[in-house]
Structure 1
Amino acid sequence: MPAPRTILLTGAAGGLGTLMRELLPAHGYELRLLDMLPVEGAPDAITADLADRAALREAVRGVDAIIHLAGISLEAPFEKILRANIEGTYNLYEAAREEGVPRIVFASSNHAVGFTPRPVGDDPLIPVDTPRRPDTFYGLSKCFGEDLAQLYWDLHGLETVSIRIGSCFREPTSVRMLSVWLSPEDGARLLHAALTAEDVGHTVVYGSSANTRLWWDLSSARALGYEPRDDSEPFAAGLVDAQGELDPANPDHAHLGGHFTTHPPIWPH
């Protein structure tokens, strides 16, 4: 697949979208931005809801690929998750199919497997084919997105790389995050690999940096050409001093999804 140049970035006004719209152009991409909210500093960005199928079809027309970050990024009542993350993702895939877009990079989440026990001690890294165990309606919507991607590959030949993103921030903010942190720069490298690798079909990968405390297997991401350069360990001492090490007896620390498995953060009504 030739290196794509014009990329539709959905969710461009969000936290991850803001980071990626700053970093991806250095990898050679021209970004077409879309969000339901205005994108600061981008007067040409498309303001549209994922429910607006006509607007989505116009937005995807002529692009080489799509990075789909839009949607609700925390837990919320099912009706809101259904509209934004499930129906919205379906609408985007339909627009891509109708306009012949060859590839989507889908922002899945570690919360698709959030009830998976976290590795302790010498336990092996969590493989990408571990059974899905969503920890929230939000995580459930990411399972749907992965299955939708598989269906559109099998039925229509539309390729997808589904990235189970950990936590992409400038710095990790918790001891748990030391294991799933994705530096913004590594995030851009992973998206670039997902956009340019050949013959991906539907590929699922974990999205994190090469953290010393890594919980999951990055081999499928590395097979795309991803070479993470960052590690959360320089932040570890300060976080451990402030918060303590993870405690296997604490329910919030027992599973990959952390406190999403016990007290998920709720999106405001």
Structure 2
Amino acid sequence: MSSETVLITGCSDGGIGSALAIIFQERGFHVFATARDITKMSNLKDLPNITLLALDVTNGDTIKTAAASVAEKTGGTLDYLVNNAGHNHFMPILDENIEVTKELFDINVWGPLAVTQAFSPLIIQAKGSFVFVTSIAGYGNTPWMGTYSASKRSIEIIADHLRLEMKPFGVNITMVVTGAVVSNGQTYFGDFVLPENSLYKRIEDTIAARARGDDGHSRMPTMNYAAAVVDETTKRTGGKIWHGDYAEMVKSVNSPTVPQEVLVGLC
């Protein structure tokens, strides 16, 4: 393939991944768009220079198969890997089902790590870029989002360590700290309920509205967000970039004063 290549996880219709795929395709990339179910990517199936692949970030076999397919088509290289697939989650800490939260971490943390490991030979060969879509939720103590916030911050911390470890190999790492964006993430909670013995049962409707995005807060249009992210990631800026409504506000109160590279020598 002569054009640059990108693989994006979590490209089901109506989400951030689908929007990113469209923007990358418009910019001349060959896009490998992935989702657990290929039929959920109907918005992408007829676009030129997009290859649809089945990939479930929690299923090692599908990850290996996708990596082999990409390697065969590109001759063993990949310019960008965008770890976008994730799952939103709302629940008070005391009401959490531990098994459910383990599944959440499988999707939001261990899944992206497994995908990164599988595609690393292709990225290293291309001296390409890993991109991780994270969240401003990892920077604030927002009630009812504790385990989700922990999962998104966890993969960001892993990515930031990877950024340092990949420097000698010419590989770039970008973490997209994402604010409020219109996406399918708000569609998971139509049947949200708390346990009957929850301390917060009397405000169940309030929590459900927050989960569904019916809270009066603005959200950046998905395509606007995707265009901004592609603009910046293709500059190989590296490190953390902040996009989406409220992202800059969160950034302003969370920016470190000491570069991480300086801290490495102190550990």
Q: TM-score, normalised by structure 2?
A: 0.61
Do the aligned partners of residues 94 and 60 (structure 1) sit closer, same or farther apart at CA in structure 2, a change above 3 Å counting? farther
2:115 counterpart residue number: 92
Q: Do structure 1's residue 191 and structure 2's residue 217 form an aligned pair? A: no
Question: What corresponds to 1:10 in structure 2?
Answer: 9
Alignment-derived partner of residue 175 in structure 2: 162
Q: Once the 2 structures are TM-superposed, how far is the Cα of residue 64 of structure 1 from its aligned partner?
A: 0.9
Which runs of no fewer than 5 residues in structure 2 stay unpaired?
Answer: 72-76, 92-99, 187-212, 255-267
Partner residue, 1:19 = 19
What is the deviation of 1:199?
5.2
Note the 1:1-269 alignment, pairs <5 A.
Answer: 5-14=4-13, 15-38=15-38, 39-40=41-42, 42=45, 44-50=51-57, 51-52=59-60, 53-58=63-68, 61=71, 62-75=77-90, 77-101=100-124, 102-115=128-141, 135-157=145-167, 158-169=171-182, 174=214, 176-178=216-218, 181-198=219-236, 200=238, 203-208=239-244, 215-217=249-251
CA distance in 2, matches of 1:81, 1:72: 7
**Whole-angstrom distance in 1 between the partners of 2:29 and 2:221:** 19
State the one-letter code of the partner of 1:47: A
Partner of 1:100, secondary structure, is helix
Distance 1:99 1:19, change over 3 A: closer
Does the 8 Å CA contact 2:176/2:242 hold for their aligned counterparts? yes
Backbone CA RMSD of aligned residues: 3.3
**Secondary structure of 1:45's match?**
strand
Runs of 4+ in 1 over 4 A off after TM superposition: 172-176
Equivalents in 2 of 1:20, 1:73: separation in Å?
Answer: 18
Contact 2:134 2:175 (C-alpha < 8 Å) held by counterparts: yes
Equivalent position amino acid for 2:179 in 1: G
Aligned equivalents of 2:16 and 2:102: distance in 1? 24
- Mark the runs of 5 or more structure 1 residues left unpaired by the alignment: 118-133, 221-269
Change (3 A) 1:116 1:139: closer
Normalised to the residue count of structure 1, the TM-score between the two structures is 0.61
Counting aligned pairs with the same residue, the percent is 15
The CA deviation string for residues 125-154 of structure 1, in whole angstroms up to 9 with x for no partner, is: xxxxxxxxx942221111111111122122
For 1:235, the equivalent position in structure 2 comes to: none
Find the aligned partners of 1:216 and 1:27 in 2 and give their Cα distance: 30
Give the direction of change, closer, same or farther, for the CA distance of 1:182–1:5 in structure 2 (3 Å limit): farther
Residue identity in the other structure for 1:167: A
Q: Size of the alignment, in residue pairs?
A: 194
